[in-house]
Amino acid sequence: MIATIQYNSKKHLIDLSKPLDISIPIKASKSNVNAWYLDEPRIESVKNDAWVGSVKEGASVNFNNIYFNPHAHGTHTECMGHITKEFHSVNKNLKQFFFTAELISVAAEKYMKDTVISKKQIELLLKAKTPEALVIRTMPNTKDKKRRHYSNTNWTYITEEAMVFIRNKNIKHLLIDLPSVDREYDGGKLLAHKAFWDFDGKRRLDCTITEFIYVSNKIEDGSYMLNLQIAPFENDATPSKPVLYKITEK
């Protein structure tokens, strides 16, 4: 199916039959991607007296409980409720699911003992484009991102200045292949999260951050249509399945 969209004052085409999935699934395995000092997810058959919810063990259906943390165990989308005293649900605040998006690849810069993504890098790669969503692929980009354990690794993060720039570009949805846009140990400052959502200003409740994506090297930098699919959890964050569609000129 071919759809027509308007982007950067021009009409473009997207082929909905060619989705590019950039999510990392949750699986019950020690090789599941992991952060924030938690054990791996668990998927277990329900046990009720002598009955076990497994076809292999004689039941007519498979009937599993799933134990996971959306922030630690796979691709997830979070809303401003992640950092507020008040409860805000991503399910209620994300009301649209298709967005124009730019995919950029960024090699982090060294900053003291850290590695960071700076305003200068984002500004250079975005140029004059004004997408609704920004997808950041950090370099080097290896497949072990899909199973890496990030706890105590001091991962790359986005500077506050860069995030203010992203916000001022009116980018409403940010996606990145890291456990967090902030430093692993930052004393609870959460400077990038707060800058993106304008925590101390006009709070952007309809904006989201999606973390723990994986963008294959086969997917080129450029313009896409993003379908941001979420599970309908009433929570600050939920597992998600972002899908890109390549945009071509009409």
Specify the pTM.
0.95
Give the per-residue SS3 of the chain: CEEEEEECCEEEEEECCCCEECCCCCCCCCCCCECCCCCCCEEEECEECCEECCHHHCCCCCCEEEECCCCCCCCEEECHHHCCCCCCCHHHHCCCCEEEEEEEEEECEEECCEEEECHHHHHHHHCCCCCCEEEEEEECCCHHHHCCECCCCCCCEECHHHHHHHHHCCCCEEEECCCCCCCCCCCCCCHHHHHHHCCCCCCCCCCEEEECCCCCCCCCCEEEEEEEEECCCCCCEEEEEEEEEEEEEC
Give the mean model confidence (pLDDT) for residues 82-92. 98
**Does position 5 have pLDDT exceeding 80, yes or no?**
no
Q: Which domains does the chain have, with CATH numbers?
A: 2-26+71-249 (3.50.30.50)
On average, the pLDDT of the chain sits at 96
In the structure, what pLDDT confidence band is assigned to residue 8 with cuts at 50, 70 and 90? low
Give the mean model confidence (pLDDT) for residues 143-170. 98
**Does position 250 have pLDDT exceeding 70, yes or no?**
no
In the structure, what pLDDT confidence band is assigned to residue 162 with cuts at 50, 70 and 90? very high
pLDDT in tens, 23-32: 999 999 999 9
